Amino acid sequence: MGLKEAIIRASQGNEITKIWTDSLSSVMAVLDPHVPHQLVRDIQSLLTQNRNILIRWIKAHAGYRGNEEADTLAKKAITEGVVMKSLNPRCELKQHLQELFLRKMAKSLG
């Protein structure tokens, strides 16, 4: 479900987008043209329509900071029902990261 949502959001732009997942079974299912599951078929269709979106696998629990943070946020969303605001991949994300950086700098300087 999360992979499909990521593809839908990425399809709103025209730039090449790599979506990283630590779910090897999801990647393998998407690569298999004979999987009957409707969710997999939906993802395959979206990827066929959006050739600029690439799905890549990353090893789970290997210390990749972004992956660990994504897992933490996913667990929080499941347990607390948190809805994340989608950020524009270019301008809003840059602004958001700058704000986070400034807050961390202010906190560390006291």
**Cβ neighbours of residue 1 closer than 8 Å, sequence gap 6 or more:** 39
Tell which wins on pLDDT, 54 or 67: 54
**CATH number reported for the structural domain that contains residue 75 in this entry:** 3.30.420
What are the CA-CA distances from residue 33 to residues 3, 27, 43, 67, 110 (Å)?
A: 17, 12, 11, 27, 56
Residue 103 to residue 109: CA distance in whole angstroms: 10
pLDDT for 88 equals 60
Q: Does residue 25 carry a pLDDT above 90? A: yes
Q: Is the pLDDT of residue 29 over 90?
A: yes
Give the model's pLDDT for residue 54. 94
Domain that holds residue 80: 1-108
Collapse the DSSP code of 53 into the 3-class scheme (helix H, G, I; strand E, B; otherwise coil) and give the result.
Answer: strand
> For the chain, how many structural domains are there in total?
1
Q: What are residue 48's phi and psi, to 5 degrees?
A: -65, -40
pLDDT digits (tens, 9 = 90+) for 70-104: 777 777 777 877 656 565 666 666 777 778 778 88
